[in-house]
Structures are given as C-alpha cells and as structure tokens.
Structure 1
C-alpha cells in the first residue's frame, strides 16, 4: 500500500537525469523560493519580538508569556491543520496562511512602531500567529514528495533546508542590526513583507490536483481522518519514540535559548551580538545540510537521534561561558547536529508514510515535539528568577542529554533505513 502510493506520486513527475538533482523540477524550485523567502523575513521576528517585549515591560516573565501564547496556540490547532493539509491543495492552503501571517505581523509592527503596543494585544496577536503557523507547518513539510520523485527525497530535503538556513542566516543577522539601529518594529515589518512575497511564490507552484484526499473522493469525518492519521503515527514505534524525545528536548532548548538567551545578551555581550549567535547556529544548520548532501549512512535516523546530545552544548555555554567566541562555536556545532537529524527525519517520514496521510502524521509529530515548549518558555523565567540564570541553563542542558540517551538506546530507531 505504501509503496504503491509513493509510486503513483512519482508517476506524475518526470524522472530527471541523475546529475541534475531536485532543482530540475519547477515545482520544487517554486517551493524552495517560497519557503526561503518566508524564512528570510521570519528569522527577524523572534529577535524583534523579544526585544519589543523587553522594551515594553522589561520583564522576562512577560516575554515568556508572549512566546508561550504563540506556541500553545500552535499545539492546539496543529492536529486540525494536518487534516486540512491532507484534504485541501497544499499550495493553495499555503497562499492563504502566508497572507494571514502577513496581516498579523503587519499589525504587530504597527502597534510597536506607533508606541501603542500593550501586553494583552500582543498576547492575542501572538496566539493568532501560532494558529496560522499550525495550518502551514504540516502542509509545507508534506509538499516535498509532490515535487520530486521518491529517489530524490534526501537530496531535495537537504537542498530545501540549505535554502531555509541561508535565509535564516541573512534574516537573523539583518534582524539584529535592524533591532539595534532602528528598533524592533521595523524588524516585524520586514517579516510581514516576507510573508506577502511568499504567498505570491506559493501561488506559482500549481501542484497536480489528483492527490488522494483532495479531489473526487467522499471524505471521512474529521474525527475518522484524525483516527486514521493516529494509526499511521502510533503504529511505527520509531516515530513516537523520537517525538517523545523532542517533547522534552524542545522544551529545554527553546525555553533556554528563546527566553534566557536575549536576557544573557542584554547582560553581557549586547543585542547586536545575539543576532550573530543565532546566525552561527543557522550557519551550522547550513553546514549540516551540505554534509547530508554528501554523507548518506544506512542508519541515518539513529545517528541523527544520537547527535542531538550536542544541542546541550550551546545551552550549557550560555550558562557558564556567555562570551561571543565560545557561543558562536557552540551554537554552530549544535546547528550541525540538529540539521543532520532533521534531514534524516524528513526522509524517514516521507519514505515510510503514505502521502495521503503525511500531513496528519507531521501534525502529530509537531504536536508532540512542540507540546511542552509553552511550558518550557513560561517556566524558565520564574525558575531563573528563583535560582539564577546559570543553574537554570545547566539544568536545561542536562535534560537534553538525558532525553537523547533514552531515545538513542532504542533499537527501533536504529532499524529505520
């Protein structure tokens, strides 16, 4: 069943000459352009929003509430986003979500630039942005198999993530400069413009409309589709083990870097330098994508899972050695490890899950991976106030290592090829 479904997808896409790679396919090129453009602007937003809230209230706890509201909304809506992405044409869905995201970011930018921002409004807009992201994330993640043949999934994912990382490097570096020179409001305005351009690029993809679950079928109820997607997810032990690992890991890593990172920057090496630290991680991601293009181990998923222990290094470095040189190295190494895992993970899901259920499986993956992020983002501020920033960061690093050891010790993860 799975192989037949993938074969039907590949039959609609001409098989390229071996040397040309995924860029030969026009639909993949439009996908690459659209997602790179949106990430270019979106890389500015976390930096701009963090310092906008700190400028407004000066409270780490308030910053945690704003970013936590977005993450919570994303988790709550993700499962329905997966159903929509498996029911509707994914390219059209992404045009709509890009336009909605542009409107929301423009609203936040306007409030910040005019000095009329208030915490209740920022919380609402942040939550709405998270809901929009919950619809777009599973749709965009599941689009790669619709643009290239199955045999090119690994290289396509590597090229795509290389583009995303390049956009993040430029966006984070430019965002830090914008925030430091002319303020966070203009950084948010850049993000809104990026989403507008991404909507135009997604509209150029024009995916075939014969994908299962979109045309010419009597659809099941939403509950039945959720149940079918859950069976695909829970029936593969390696899938849910890795997701549980990232439930814990993401709460610790994102809470430490998103909330406490800007605080450490303000207290030591400065806001502009924090943008360079974020860019160093993205440079590591880009290096990891290049490595994945050339290195194709048989047990790529198991290796990637084990390498996630390296992501504890930047968190620990923030706690014990918050100097720019050491942070640049630590975040770059963490980025390499994260990207080697991410490409192996995408390839594994796209190669083993039927395309008609892929967005739902991605949504369950994202729900599990993101579920504890709001808790981590909300708790690290009060914990840091109570015990100090350094002990909190070291505790987060220890949690990352423990979660990785447990997942990497599972045989099912190493059996996936």
Structure 2
C-alpha cells in the first residue's frame, strides 16, 4: 500500500511531495522531448523517410493506447506508485538498448519498433497514475497542473535544442543514453514520495472485468468527456499524428536538425507560457476557454506546409504551444476535479486511450498521405482542420458549459445510487 500520512495534501508551493513529483515529471519530459528529434534524425541518417519515422512513433503509441485501460484498473487495484516506478525502470533498460543500437550503427527498423512497443506498454501502466497522484500532492489542482505543464514545456523548450546539439556533435545514440538517465531520476523521485491514502478506496475488490465495466460506465456517463475524445480522434488522425513525421521530413533535409530543434524549442516555449497563463487565468468554464485557445494552433502546420522561413515557423510553433498549453491545463484540471478519486485512474485511462487510439493511424498514414498529396499539402490541410476542431468543441453544450469546481470531486460509495455526472457538475448534456 502507499504510505499514509496526512489526509489532506499540502499546498503545492510548500509540499515536499509536490516538489519531488514536479522534479520527476520535468526531468522525464526533458528526455521525452529529446526523443522525436533523435529518432527522426537517426532514421533519416540511415536513409529512412517519413513512413519509417511514423512507424517507429506509432509502435509506441499503439501499445500505449492498448494497455492504458488495463493500467487504469491496475492503478486502482494495486500500488500506483510502485507501478509507476517499475515502468520507469524498464524504460531505463529499453532506452539504454536503443543507445547501443544507434551508437554501434546496427539499427534495424523492426528492432526500433519492438523497443517502442515495450515503451508503450510501460507508458500505459504509468500514465493513469499521474491523474490520481496530482490531487494527492497538491491542494490547488489547477495551480499544480499549471506549474507541471510549465515545467514540462520548458523541458520541451530545452529538449529538442539539446538533442539537436548532441546529434550534431555526437550521435543519436548519446541522446538515447541521456533519455535512459531521465527515467532513472524520475523513478528515484517517485520512490521518495510519501503519499496520503487514496480517497474512496474500496475495502472489497470486484473482478477485473467489473472494474473495467464500471470505468467505462462512468466515462460514458460524462457527455463532456466522451464528446471531447470523439473530436480529439479526428484531430490526432488529421493533425497531431502526421505532424512529427511530416515536419521532420520537411525541415531536417532543407534546414538541418538544428533548425528543427529550434522550431520544437519554440513550441516548448509557447507551451510554457500557456501553462503560466493558466496559473493566473481561472475561467468559470474551463473547457470553453481551452477550446478557444486551440484555434491558435492552426498556424504551425500551415507555416511548415507553406514553406515559410525558419523564423516564421518558430513563431507559429510558439503560438501553437500557447494554445495547447492553456488547453492541456484546463482539460487536465477538469478531469481531476470533476471525477471522484476512487474511479479517476480508470476514467483517466479511458480518456488517454480514446485520445491516443487514432494516433498510430495518423502516424502510419503520414507517409502514404505525403506520397499521394505532398507533405506540405497535408500540413496546410491540418492547419485548416485545427480551426474546425476548435469550432466543434465549442459547438457541444456539454463541453462549453461545463462549470469549474475548486476541489477534486468527492468520493462516492461503490454500488450506491449516482446522479448523472453531467447534471451534478452543471453541464448541459
């Protein structure tokens, strides 16, 4: 069991637990931010194109999406922190192996994809615990999300630039070695946590199947949540999925990995600003504000697709980051405060699975779409679709009218009568 101490988490600026969790997330994100550039540059150096990059990225995403639902059940039934630490330690080994492959030049695409699949399984076991851990280490959930998002964004700012320097000066293998080290530090920070007992944990356990069914029922009962996920599926197929393979294949051959790193760093800087804005901006209707912010994200894919100069692409990436940063804080806070803690891991798992389910499709289709239509055409179309995504979110009453709550949702008794979650939280379903 997790170590029990205070029943109420300390306010995040003074909390040792929050400082440890914050450090672990920031360091791990720094490694994750280095990965796409190292993987893209390493495969391009060996003659591969956007199809191979998309396949390598999709191998991680498809297993993450496939295993995250089971990870949510495991987190609700077992020790969340131990599962997260174990996932980090396995990824220390996989990224060390990836480093050896690239340092020795013995890079085979199927091996890269297999390692990505293992990483995806680990991420699927790790990710559900993030949502339930934040309310246990911070009293101000939106403030905590804003700080974590800002730190992660600063890591995104530094990560690509650092990866570009390491790839240019040494080898992609050095980046993978550094990535392994970030997972080791993340595991150490999690091991040092002393968490309060999870609220609403039932004494008697039902079956795995019953837990999965209950999680799905609770997810389906929240119109605002499943509506966002359905719209997000369109977004990941048409915009997010093809973005990394196509921007890498457009920018790196023409401008080099250094410029690609700077563009991604600008995106990270914008996301950091978005997180900081979300610290101060406390809208009554969080998802409405986040949906409006997403409209600005249309500029980045359009700028790359139009072949604009690096400075213009960096500016567009920065604006994308601001909009995405605001949205991510508003969304994460809504999920963590609107959902009772006893089912939060499972609902978050369904949310992550739904968000990522179509990502491998978008990544895998990047190469064929670029071959058929041209990579730049696909990117410009993605910019137009991004405006449609923002409009679609705002068109759903359950999303735009969901009212913010100031604390995590109270636990409800298992098996007892429930009101409609949408009605309880004031959304128009």
Structure 2-normalised TM-score?
0.90
Q: Distance in 1 between matches of 2:254 and 2:46?
A: 20
Q: Distance in 1 between matches of 2:289 and 2:198?
A: 36
Aligned counterpart, 2:397? 411
Aligned counterpart, 1:286? 272
CA drift of 1:14 comes to 5.6
Aligned counterpart, 1:252? 238
Aligned counterpart, 2:13? 23
Query: 1:261 aligned to 2:247?
Result: yes
Q: Distance in 1 between matches of 2:192 and 2:180?
A: 20
For the 8 Å contact 1:252–1:397, the answer to whether it is kept is no
Choose which of 282, 285, 293 in structure 2 pairs with 1:296: 282
Choose which of 198, 221, 228 in structure 1 pairs with 2:214: 228
CA drift of 1:270 comes to 1.6
Deviations 1:306-333 (A, max 9, x none): 3222222101111003421111110111
Matches within 5 A, 1:7-406: 12-13=7-8, 16=11, 22-149=12-139, 152-213=140-201, 217-406=203-392
Query: Residues 14 and 90 from structure 1, CA distance in 2 versus in 1: closer, same or farther, beyond 3 angstroms?
Result: closer
Deviations 1:204-250 (A, max 9, x none): 0121345444xx72211111111111122111111111111211112
CA drift of 1:254 comes to 2.5
Query: Could you list the runs of 5+ residues in structure 1 that have no partner in the other structure?
Result: 1-8, 17-21
Deviations 1:314-364 (A, max 9, x none): 011110034211111101111111111111111111111011111111111
Query: Residues 11 and 353 from structure 1, CA distance in 2 versus in 1: closer, same or farther, beyond 3 angstroms?
Result: farther
Deviations 1:108-129 (A, max 9, x none): 1111111112112111111111
Deviations 1:93-143 (A, max 9, x none): 211111011111111111111111211211111111111111111112321
- Equivalenced residue count is 400
Q: Distance in 1 between matches of 2:290 and 2:5?
A: 27
Q: Distance in 1 between matches of 2:308 and 2:375?
A: 11
**Secondary structure of 1:321's partner?**
coil
Deviations 1:68-95 (A, max 9, x none): 1111111111110111122222222211
**Secondary structure of 1:272's partner?**
helix
Q: Distance in 2 between matches of 1:88 and 1:357?
A: 13
Deviations 1:360-412 (A, max 9, x none): 11111111111111111111111111221121112222332223212211111
Mean Cα deviation higher: 396-405 or 314-323: 396-405
Q: Distance in 1 between matches of 2:239 and 2:163?
A: 21
Q: Distance in 2 between matches of 1:189 and 1:15?
A: 35
Structure 1-normalised TM-score?
0.92
Mean Cα deviation higher: 404-413 or 393-402: 393-402
For the 8 Å contact 1:77–1:134, the answer to whether it is kept is yes
**Secondary structure of 1:287's partner?**
helix
**Secondary structure of 2:192's partner?**
coil
Q: CA RMSD in A?
A: 1.7
For the 8 Å contact 2:302–2:383, the answer to whether it is kept is yes
For the 8 Å contact 1:318–1:393, the answer to whether it is kept is yes
**Secondary structure of 1:13's partner?**
coil
For the 8 Å contact 1:284–1:335, the answer to whether it is kept is yes
CA drift of 1:11 comes to 7.0
Q: Distance in 2 between matches of 1:15 and 1:185?
A: 41
For the 8 Å contact 1:73–1:131, the answer to whether it is kept is yes
Q: Distance in 2 between matches of 1:322 and 1:133?
A: 35
For the 8 Å contact 1:268–1:322, the answer to whether it is kept is no
